Amino acid sequence: MTEPTRAFDLQDFLPYVLNQAAEELSRGFQVVYRTRYGMTRTQWRVLANLGKFGAMTARDICAISHVEKTKVSRAVAALEQAQMLTREVSSKDRRAEVLSLTESGKAVFAELGQLGVAFDAQLRDRLGEAEAKQLIALLGRLVDLSPRKATGAGTDPDDPAS
């Protein structure tokens, strides 16, 4: 590792710049699901993970989406209230609940998924396909190079030592 030779500049700090870009894009798509269904970002992430991966526990969703357990719990309760998901006691671990989308939840996921594809297509059009592919490759490389991934540290959002 090389010694820093320049002053710290937040605007040039990769984690900050990446977070700013992700936040702006996320807010752009948030308008879609909030306007149509009154969903929060966490509710959308829970719905999207269940739609993509199928039945799983809230803990699984936390691990995949890097969202705090309390936020996921609130989102699950709201989606259950809206009859978009159901809970069943896990046959593997009676302390855990397996979450699944209802038919209504699947329909909402399908609709929002198509709107997400359109949102993504607009971004790709603005960037150009070559830059979009390059960006995806670079972001994948950053994920692979992350210290957290390399050491395994920080993989459990409930573990303060992570």
User: How far apart are alpha carbons 93 and 109 in whole angstroms?
Assistant: 27
Q: pLDDT value at position 154?
A: 55
The tokens for 111 are 């609709």
Q: Which domains does the chain have, with CATH numbers?
A: 10-151 (1.10.10.10)
Instruction: Tell me the longest C-alpha to C-alpha distance in the chain.
Output: 57
Distance CA 112, CA 108 (A): 6
The residue type found at 76 is: V
pLDDT for 161: 43
Answer whether 79's CB lies under 8 Å from 43's CB: yes
Per-residue pLDDT of the chain (162 residues; tens, 9 = 90+): 566 678 999 999 999 999 999 999 999 999 999 999 999 999 999 999 999 999 999 999 999 999 999 999 999 999 999 999 999 998 888 888 999 999 999 999 999 999 999 999 999 999 999 999 999 999 999 989 988 766 665 555 445 444
Of 51, 55, 63, nearest to 90 (Cα)?
55
- For residue 91, the model assigns a pLDDT of 85
Whether the CA torsion 88, 91, 94, 96 is positive or negative: it is negative
